[in-house]
Chain A
Amino acid sequence: MIDWLDPLLLARWQFGLTTLYHFLFVPLTIGMSLLVAILQTAWYNTGKVHYLHLTRLFGKIFLINFAIGVVTGITQEFQFGMNWSEYSRFVGDVFGAPLAMEGLFAFFLEATFIGVWIFGWDKLSARMHLASIWLTTAAVSLSAYFIIAANSWMQNPVGYELNPETGRAELNDIGAVLFNPIALNAFPHTIVASIMFAGTVMVAVAAYHLSKGNHIDTMRSALKFGAFANIIAFAGTFLTGDGLSLAMTIAQPMKMAAAEALYETTSSASFSIFSWGTPDGSSEIFSLRIPALLSLLSTHTLNGTVEGLNDLQAQYSDLYGVGDYMPIIWLTYWSFRWMIGLGIFAALVSTAVLWVTRAGRRQAAWIWKVAMWTAPIPMLASLVGWTFAEMGRQPWLVFGLMKTEDGVSPYVTGWEVLTSLVVFTLIYGVLAVIEYRLIIKAAKEGPDEWAELGDRKTIDPAKLATVY
């Protein structure tokens, strides 16, 4: 019988829900800020007005998304202390530093220059205004770096020592924390995956207008730009994912074994694209396998040995004491596959879009529909990817140092956590509906001003003024 007022269970659900919810918005913010900055640069350099239209249109979508990303980020910052006070005490010395650095170096910068960019169209020179979107883009990515460095420390704790007097982890090498091999690989992986999402959103918006026969030339250019961004970013996601799985195999072999549900240590291990097991998961009925691929992913050799779950379980029991050290295998197995599969699917759709519309071809009603429905696919890939990264670390909160069950706030009651879980679910649910509608509305309307604005030299900045 599950205890529905168990603070640990509720706190875990709350962290999972609020974090994944926050991450509905983060990838679009990261990816779209870059694409908008590139579009505005194209306008600045060429003076062609359709680049301005696209900058304004996708800038609007970026902003609707940005506001909710910021406010749900505050929940993240507070939540460690509220629900995970034992964790905060144990790791604050190490984990707090990258969070504070994020605030001081990155978050201030993005919060300031996003305001300057939105409201500064008629108040700054074109050059300064362009600089403000690039500063926002840079700050958004820098922000992601520090957060991922903090998360990577939970995956692969480095640069610390345990203080025997206080029982707390204490920082002794900030360089090791900031240049954690997991962070160095997870950061570019997150960024390029985010660009994929921005790319499919841009393609979807362009496909909608092209299907209606609106703004053909402008939207063709958006379609191409979005699709290329998506495909290039997919190549990046593939390469960085490869680097990340190598680093992960070294730091967290259990997670890699769980990704494949590999129970026995195997050399020249195959990778299953699909498998069907007995209900208890102990043996396999059917699977479709690529020989040696798991060894290739984990060791970069075809005959490398990949440690299996059972061996690792035995090792960890010796090392950390008797216990269950396996994550939930079906969850890690399938989230890993869905992440890869969804990413590949999005890139294939972008390729198809470019192929079907090559050299000005337009008779392609079906491709517009497919392109529109593909918009959220990379976002789903990011969500299952993070689900894999976080659930694959279980039962650990900090790998090898602290279990999840030991990190929860001891005096916060189940009722309190339940209250906040309900409050967040309600607010977040309503906001998600509003958010979705507003983005769809903005996308369908297109830019506010399709009227002739003139080129960069003759444009009247007052016409671009923005107010709430």
Chain B
Amino acid sequence: MDLNYLWFGIVGFLFIGYFILDGFDFGVGMSLPFVTRNDQERRVVINTIGPIWDLNETWVIVGGASLFAAFPLWYATLFSGFYLALLLILASLILRGVSFEYRHKGHGAKWTGLFDTFIMIGSVVPALLWGVAFANIIQGVPIDADGNFTGNLLTLLNPYGLLGGVVTLALFFMHGLIYLALKTTGEIRERARSLATIVGLVAVPVGGGWLLWTVLQHVTIAHVGFIIAFAGLTALALVAAIIMVRLGRDGSAFIAMALTIAFALLTILSALFPNVMPSSTDPSYSLTIENASSSPYTLTVMTWVAAFAMPLVLAYQGWTFWVFRKRVTREMIPVS
């Protein structure tokens, strides 16, 4: 098998990892105004992701760098093309990241409130825009013969793209709420669970509609069976997550929600295959797994690197989650 295809899988894996991990960070950030009533509760909520948000966010950096190394033409077209969308994502991630560190180091409620707002905005914007970006990638965007994106920000704001954004927003919100149910106790947990059900009931029709739209856009391609299968699994896992939340089985609900996100990404990747950025200008200008990749030598080197590093990474990150496995309670937050 060609290494290009393996790397399509590895890059896909890195983004699935990113969306599962930072996805619940986004959801936790969005939930602040809904599940907390005072600063102590907000600190409980923020501390559920305190030790790990940084490693979660690192997945996007590694994903981006791996894209650069394995598919430089995809990286160049995507990042220069989706310029303003990525700028918004960057600004959000920067503000959100420093806010965790700064919010409790200041002077009074106004300061803390300001950084809580940054955490919320910094969570909503990327959660929405990642969906818009990926929906547009599979739908196809104007790309010329030299591989340059010739549209602008408005090109991305089409109904299918925007609906994709609403889907990721809803899924990450729900993912964060389920994570909170798993990591907190008492009232916060109860509020997170009820809200997760409501968001879930919105996510089902919205997500289902978008999946159906995706399938319909791709009915003519040979491997549409895969797309349908992954779309179906996405919907099943989402329904399972809602049921588990209702049953109070937080751990199972979290796994079901992680699977929902993984299957949604697999739906996207299978709809994309064997392209990586289809051109809506002319299909012959599309960037593909074959024509956008690095040389076989680079891919060989990177395969060895990934084969050596990834098991280690997964092992020590898994260990970290285990170290911080306890639920965060109010008693752990010192009165300030």
B76 touches A427 (CB 8 A): no
B72 touches A438 (CB 8 A): no
Q: Which residues of B contact A115 (CB under 8 A)?
A: 50-52, 54-55, 320
Q: Which residues of B contact A103 (CB under 8 A)?
A: 58, 61-62, 65-66
A71 touches B148 (CB 8 A): no
Main secondary structure of the interface of A (DSSP, over half): helix
Q: Is A119 an interface residue (CB 8 A)?
A: yes
Q: Which residues of B contact A168 (CB under 8 A)?
A: 72
Considering the chains assembled together, what is the distance between the CA atoms of A105 and B149 in angstroms?
Answer: 32
Q: Is A64 an interface residue (CB 8 A)?
A: yes
Considering the chains assembled together, what is the distance between the CA atoms of A119 and B78 in angstroms?
Answer: 37
A171 touches B90 (CB 8 A): no
CB distance from A20 to the nearest CB of B (A): 16
Which of A86, A91, A100, A442 is most buried by chain B, counting CB atoms within 10 A of its CB?
A100
Q: Is B255 an interface residue (CB 8 A)?
A: no
Q: Is B191 an interface residue (CB 8 A)?
A: no
Name which residue of chain B comes closest to A428, CB basis. Answer: B94
Chain B 61-80 residues near chain A, CB threshold 8 A:
61-62, 64-66, 68-73, 75-80
Q: A104-B310, A108-B55, A124-B323 are contacts. A74–B93 as well, Cβ < 8 Å?
A: yes
A467 touches B43 (CB 8 A): yes
Q: Which residues of B contact A441 (CB under 8 A)?
A: 105
A100 touches B147 (CB 8 A): no
A67 touches B294 (CB 8 A): no
Question: Count of chain B residues with Cβ under 8 Å from any Cβ of A?
Answer: 70
Name which residue of chain B comes closest to A118, CB basis. Answer: B51
Q: Is B108 an interface residue (CB 8 A)?
A: no
Q: A67-B100, A105-B305 are contacts. A427–B91 as well, Cβ < 8 Å?
A: yes
B69 touches A97 (CB 8 A): yes
Main secondary structure of the interface of B (DSSP, over half): helix
Name which residue of chain A comes closest to B144, CB basis. Answer: A411
Considering the chains assembled together, what is the distance between the CA atoms of A108 and B83 in angstroms?
Answer: 26
B147 touches A68 (CB 8 A): no
Which of B66, B97, B295 is most buried by chain A, counting CB atoms within 10 A of its CB?
B295
B77 touches A104 (CB 8 A): no
12 additional A-B pairs beyond A82-B86, A92-B294, A120-B323, beta carbons within 8 Å, are: A63-B101, A82-B87, A96-B294, A97-B305, A100-B62, A108-B58, A112-B317, A171-B298, A412-B80, A420-B87, A434-B98, A468-B100
B interface with A by C-beta (< 8 Å): 43, 46-47, 50-52, 54-55, 57-58, 60-62, 64-66, 68-73, 75-81, 83-84, 86-87, 90-91, 93-95, 97-98, 100-105, 146-150, 294-295, 297-298, 301-302, 305-306, 309-310, 313, 316-317, 320, 323-324, 332-334
